[in-house]
Amino acid sequence: MKIVKKYFLYVLIPLVLIQLIPVNRENPEVDKNLALSAPAEVKLVLKTSCYDCHSNETNWPAYSYIAPISWLVTRDVKFGREELNFSEWNKLDESKMEKKKKEIIEEISRDTMPMPIYLITHPSAKLSEGDKLLLKNWLTGR
């Protein structure tokens, strides 16, 4: 009984209490004038593989509401949006847009995006070779 009481005090109570720490799971409004416009097949690949972290259209899964996992998910989305936000693509000037296009090609070529940890819970987000080719051709204007 003493072990159960200690377990309750040292593990369960803190686990319940950390659920009270608020996290920001907002999806800012998308201005269609600023959002990326692309062919439908390109947009579908981006929405499936990139938009959860790199847009203002994040789908927040159930586990993103459970601390401490929620802290990691919201941090990844925050940093992802800061690095590249397809909902604000047209805010970029031409030189920044070209730089982002090259970075996207590099990331998908090295299989660093989508992040491997994201693929654990979202296996359908993995880019096929065809998806990569489609994105590379679109990004290079081919």
What pLDDT, on the 0 to 100 scale, is given for residue 142?
Answer: 79
Number of domains present in the structure of the chain = 1
Q: Cα separation of 88 and 31, whole Å?
A: 8
Instruction: Find the domain containing 65 and state its range.
Output: 2-140
Cβ atoms of 132 and 108 within 8 Å: the answer is yes
What pTM does this model have?
0.86
The proportion of the chain whose per-residue pLDDT surpasses 70, expressed as a percent, equals 98
DSSP single-letter state for residue 50: T
Nearest CA to 30 out of 92, 87, 90 is that of: 87
Per residue in 42-100, pLDDT tens? 999 999 999 999 999 999 999 999 999 999 999 999 999 999 999 999 999 999 999 99
Amino acid letter at 126? K
What one-character-per-residue DSSP string does 98-112 give? HHHHHHHHHHHHTT-
Q: Which residues contact 108 (CB under 8 A, 6 or more apart)?
A: 127, 132, 135, 136
Cβ atoms of 92 and 127 within 8 Å: the answer is no
Which tokens sit at 5?
A: 């009481």
